[in-house]
Amino acid sequence: MKAYLIGKLFFAAVLCVALTACSSTPSTINPEGTNDANANSKDEEQEIHWSYSGDTGPENWSTLDTSFEICAEGKEQSPINLEKAKTSAAAEANINIDYQPGAFTVKNNGHTIQAEALTDDNTIEIDGDEYQLVQFHFHVPSEHQLEGKHLDMELHFVHKNADGQLAVLGVLMKAGEENDALAELWAQMPKEETQAAVELTDPVDLTSLLPQNKAGFHYNGSLTTPPCSEGVKWVVLAEPITVSQEQIDVFAAIFPDNHRPVQPWNDRDIYEAIAE
């Protein structure tokens, strides 16, 4: 057990150093929705406030800071409406998901409930490029639409490769049977914004947060939160997993609506994807 804890602490320290080092690379995207290139210059400034409604809501994100302008001007923004009839089967993406139970911390970052990985052994491979899981978080209702309709929630697994580029695996969620894999995370869910993260006692079984049928969609998009950085590889699975209505209500009591509206396709290619 001692060795296990030391290992987790060592990984956390290495991850912290790695993310800090990214601040010198303008092309790097921060998975928490902040440009790493601008992070140090704003350390002593008040954080730019954005939200999901009103004057600081999605329609106005681009006006809140010059680094947010791509939220309105970008041509490859996320989320989008996913339609089977508009996908291209000509270039099916090669995707491999390698998940197992892992150790996580949980925090309320003011915009969602976020679980951060303490180990680096959960990965996704897209067309031969490997990305390590950094964190996962939730939105209500779903950000992506499926055939023009929102689902109850959406889970985003955020991954980062050796070059600092992001890949997000989106899992749609609908009301149904309770999801036991989320039990402890839901029990530890902070109701107020927190700076410090709480470590979960038990590993989270990530495979239980994936549907059996892993067919879906693959496209090039963006972060769904400011600064809306593009260059994010998206994989969204079409078959939803279930969570109980009570689990949905517990999350919605903290974040009643934390989704960005769907964005234009802008003639992007959306490919069929079957993850293994």
Query: Which residues does the annotation mark as catalytic?
Result: 111
Rounded Cα distance, 153 and 172, in Å: 6
Query: What residues contact residue 89 under an 8 Å CB cut-off, 6+ apart?
Result: 271, 272
Tokens of 157: 């697994």
Q: Which residues of 162-200 are buried (b: 16+ CB within 10 A; e: fewer)?
A: eebbbbbbbbbbebeeebebbebbbebbeeeeeeebeeb
Rounded Cα distance, 274 and 95, in Å: 7
